Structure 1
Amino acid sequence: MSITFAATPRTQPQDLGSRARSRRGRALRRNLTGWGFAAPATALVIGLSIFPAVWALFISRTKWNGISPATGVGWANYGNLVQDPDAAAAAQHTLLLTVLFVPGSILLGMLIAVALNQKIRLIGFYRTCIFVPYVASAAATGILASFVFNPQFGAANETLRRLGLPAQGFLENPGQALLVICLIALWGEVGFCAVVYLAALQDIPQELVEAATVDGASRLRVFLHITLPELRPVTVFTAIWQTITAMQLFDLIWTTTRGGPMNSTQTIVYYIYELAFQTQRLGYGAALAYLLFAVTMLLTLGVLWYSRRTGSEAL
């Protein structure tokens, strides 16, 4: 008996080439379709962010009031910033605000997130209440806070009087104004940290917590040895985000103190605003803005480098 096998037709090289060209054509059409949708948004981002940033770099090397022709001064604006006492004072205020705001927002956000991660009644309502101040307008928050901390008829001093405590100057006291602004900023921003930490807490494997509990670990030890290590990448992200927020804080200061009293709340961003839009020193203000950008970038890269070295990178 003889067994015969049907011959398998071989694919011709011409067929392979046509199929490859067909796949490349379909891929090209998909890419063109995608760029057709993304191109308008990309052009908008470039036009509203990258182009002004590059233009501001050229302005920072000139002396210009926005009306008369600009005069090139090279890097003199950057050199003058080193000797500017107002810029140094604004940097000190910004540094103090950052040192108070960033750890406070991270610590409060983490504690609130742990509390909101419990199974209690009306938990959705509580989570909404915590997040509402973050989505509210910062300008509206500043205006409302101006009434609350008004030394004459504000609710804060009225509460102190009812408790038998002396009234305070708050936003009109040079020694208290920056602290009050930090408190207002915490009230508005802590909801963001709480939501981020809450999402991270719900992503922690429950098997780890249950295994530690079965082994006899207390809730404090579980939090210190399981929860906190799992939250390190989120902490890195929130630290970077809140640092940028603190260094670029402007709207609360503009709606509450306008840099006063006696320039005690004049931060770098508000000083840039005064230079560029009140005294029309656009070149000098642009130079300070780029210096702030460089410092922010170095701080961000430093935090990322340290986090990756310790194995807790967020990006």
Structure 2
Amino acid sequence: MSLLFAGRRTPAPAPAHRASPPAGRARWLPPWLHRTLTGWGFAGPATALIVGLSIFPAVWAFLISLQKWNGIAPAKPIGWLNYELMAQDPDLFAAVRHTLVFTALFVPSSIFLGMLIAVALNRPIRLVGFYRTCIFIPFVASAAATGILASFVFNPQYGAANSVLRAIGLPQQQFLESQSQALAVICLIALWGQVGFTVVVYLAALQDIPKDVVEAARMDGANRWQVFRNVTLPALGPVTVFTSIWQTITALQLFDLVFTTTRGGPLGATQTIVYYVYTQAFKLTKFGYGSAVAYGLFAVTMLITVGMILYSRRSKIEAF
């Protein structure tokens, strides 16, 4: 057998061929450039749409803030006059005061309640999934629907809130029709709709805390309060900074609940900055002045956000 194969030559291996470029790809494009263009081909239209719907209105609103325009007649350039008028507007000062009061009531309450409920729902209790769902449902509900529903609940004549007060022997209240109570009631409605967000965020943070650290603290003799104060609370620092910024921005932009419940009343007691912008621009057709107030709110919101981010970094709280 060896003689039969002795005269045969082993065939030479076939020469290696370069991998041909995928079908449809230009041969002159480098691979990295082709991947980049392909990615932008998918993400580009959506990115252009989002940027166009955010950058273009912002630039246009800034240009309008430098003009006097009622939406019909030709715009008249007036420079920075609208911004100067803001410093002399008592109605704007009142709207700023109402917004600050609402923010001072809403932000700490939402953070405290969110943390408290999250700690309670982080324990192994029966039907915990049902309770978590019930807490989160008001957050995904429409704010307009929440405001309309609340206007019936807190109606002074036939509302459910006064029915409960009468049943327990307490005097009826005016709620949304009272200058002293309306803003607090709106804060209560906003808490009902927004506290689910803070609960979910704190629940996620609580479940990320290593269990061995908690068990080690308990083995060292720490009780529940000491574990919460020395282990859990410091671990929730970044989440607290994030929720503080988020809820502050939410409070400064309050509009939908005011629009669906009081329309800024009674006697302007619940007129916030955003509702004041709506009134100036779309009711009084002062588009230039309304845009200037909106840009003032944007500047304040940006300063608050940057300040809290710098504070978190200097305090070594890795929130961002």
TM norm. shorter chain > 0.5: yes
Partner of 1:170: 175
- Report the alpha carbon displacement of residue 52 of structure 1 after superposing the two structures with TM: 0.4
The question of 1:106 aligning with 2:111 is answered: yes
Structure 2 counterparts to residues 127-138 of structure 1, below 5 A: 127-138=132-143
- Report the alpha carbon displacement of residue 286 of structure 1 after superposing the two structures with TM: 0.1
Partners in 2 of 1:41 and 1:98 — Cα distance? 34
Partner of 1:219: 224
Partners in 2 of 1:247 and 1:31 — Cα distance? 40
Please list the CA deviations of residues 37-61 of structure 1 after superposition, one character each: whole Å capped at 9, or x if unmatched. 1111111112111100011000000
Structure 2 counterparts to residues 1-315 of structure 1, below 5 A: 25-315=30-320
What fraction of aligned residue pairs are identical, expressed as a percent? 69
Partners in 2 of 1:58 and 1:101 — Cα distance? 33
Partners in 1 of 2:44 and 2:223 — Cα distance? 55
Q: Which amino acid aligns with 1:193?
A: T
Q: Which amino acid aligns with 1:267?
A: T
Partners in 1 of 2:125 and 2:31 — Cα distance? 53
Flag the structure with larger Rg: 2
Partners in 1 of 2:205 and 2:35 — Cα distance? 36
- Report the alpha carbon displacement of residue 207 of structure 1 after superposing the two structures with TM: 1.0
Please list the CA deviations of residues 48-83 of structure 1 after superposition, one character each: whole Å capped at 9, or x if unmatched. 111000110000000000111100110010010010
Partners in 1 of 2:128 and 2:168 — Cα distance? 32
User: Is the Cα contact below 8 Å between 1:236 and 1:313 reproduced in 2?
Assistant: no
User: Is the Cα contact below 8 Å between 1:177 and 1:265 reproduced in 2?
Assistant: yes
Partners in 2 of 1:43 and 1:305 — Cα distance? 31
Please list the CA deviations of residues 72-127 of structure 1 after superposition, one character each: whole Å capped at 9, or x if unmatched. 11001001001000000000000000010000000000000001100011111000
Partners in 1 of 2:42 and 2:209 — Cα distance? 37
Structure 1 segments of 4+ aligned residues over 6 angstroms from their partners: none
- Report the alpha carbon displacement of residue 313 of structure 1 after superposing the two structures with TM: 3.1
Instruction: Pick which of 100-109 and 302-311 moved more.
Output: 302-311
Partners in 2 of 1:100 and 1:25 — Cα distance? 58
Partners in 2 of 1:278 and 1:185 — Cα distance? 25
In structure 2, the gaps of 5 or more residues are: 1-17, 19-26
User: How many residues are treated as equivalent by the alignment?
Assistant: 295
Alignment RMSD (CA, Å): 1.3
Partner of 2:22: none
Q: Which amino acid aligns with 2:122?
A: N
Partners in 1 of 2:169 and 2:137 — Cα distance? 32
Partners in 1 of 2:125 and 2:272 — Cα distance? 42
Partners in 1 of 2:186 and 2:297 — Cα distance? 20
Partners in 2 of 1:72 and 1:216 — Cα distance? 71
Partners in 2 of 1:266 and 1:283 — Cα distance? 20
User: Is the Cα contact below 8 Å between 1:304 and 1:313 reproduced in 2?
Assistant: no
Partners in 1 of 2:38 and 2:240 — Cα distance? 39
Query: When the two structures are superposed, what TM-score results if normalisation uses the length of structure 2?
Result: 0.91
In structure 1, the gaps of 5 or more residues are: 1-14, 16-21
User: Is the Cα contact below 8 Å between 1:102 and 1:239 reproduced in 2?
Assistant: yes
Q: Which amino acid aligns with 1:66?
A: G
